[in-house]
A and B are shown apart, each in its own frame.
Chain A
């Protein structure tokens, strides 16, 4: 995750309390989604950014995961995400995200 975004995530977690935050990702691949999810839960796995060694344990989902999709107005989802969802490997994304949440999320 880019360093500026890591900084902002850290600031918001301090400001609002990590238990009050949900991060929603739009990554194109399971691996990228998993890396971003790991960054906001267990710390930056690349050891480059402000979240290195910071275990925020935030609640984190991908927009295409059923937990989020079912909350969104269906027509808006279709219009905004539908096309991309067809070309994404959603099963891979769900499997990566679920693994990271189970291991590192503190607020589920």
Chain B
């Protein structure tokens, strides 16, 4: 079973790394339900 199957996915992207939106596009192809996505600056 996939690690993400039947899971609620929370995405915390990083403006200086991988933004939330890019992670969203990836996770959509991997299964799981995205419940929240954000892009923050860790500095």
A-side residues, CB < 8 A to B, are: 1-2, 5, 8-9, 12, 16, 20-29, 32, 35-36, 59, 61, 63-64, 67-68, 71-73, 76-77, 79-81, 84, 88
Are A12's CB and B36's CB within 8 A?
yes
Tally the A-B contacts, defined by beta carbons under 8 Å: 117
Set of chain A residues within 8 Å of B11, measured between Cβ atoms: 23-24, 26
Set of chain A residues within 8 Å of B39, measured between Cβ atoms: 26
By size class, the interface of chain B is 20 to 34
Are A32's CB and B14's CB within 8 A?
yes
Considering only residues 1-43 of chain B, those with a C-beta below 8 Å from chain A are 2-4, 6-14, 16-20, 22-23, 25-32, 35-36, 38-40, 42
